[in-house]
Amino acid sequence: MTASQAHALGALTMGGMIFIAIGIILFFYWIGALIDVVRSDFKNPNNKTTWILLLIFLAPLGTILYMLMSDDQKKKQEEREIGMIREHPNRNTKDKKWF
């Protein structure tokens, strides 16, 4: 094996490791996005289904889109509390353990 062949093999191995590291990072972002979709309340209930389908079928693109666009579609904390008051009017609003 010549020196140029050994150098090319080392570069390929390093490039492969970088590719694998990026893939692992994207995988964890994808899992985090799926967990966030399932745990979040959306203003429109159909948005949850749409995001789950996008994340499953377009994993890298769906993850990036979710991270950029989902905050505007989620219910804010105040909206969740108002919904809980309407569902349970006798509950104390300061007691956060009941939701």
pLDDT tens digit sequence for 37-76? 999 888 888 999 999 999 999 988 999 999 898 888 887 7
| Residues contacting 66, CB < 8 A, separation 6+ | 33, 36, 37, 51, 54, 55
The percentage of residues in the chain with a pLDDT greater than 90, rounded to a whole number, is 28
| Residues contacting 99, CB < 8 A, separation 6+ | 80, 84
CA-to-CA dists, residue 61 to 9, 29, 55, 80, angstroms: 31, 11, 8, 29
Round to whole Å and give the CA distance between 47 and 69: 11
pLDDT at 3 over 80: no
pLDDT reported for residue 91 = 56
pTM confidence score: 0.62
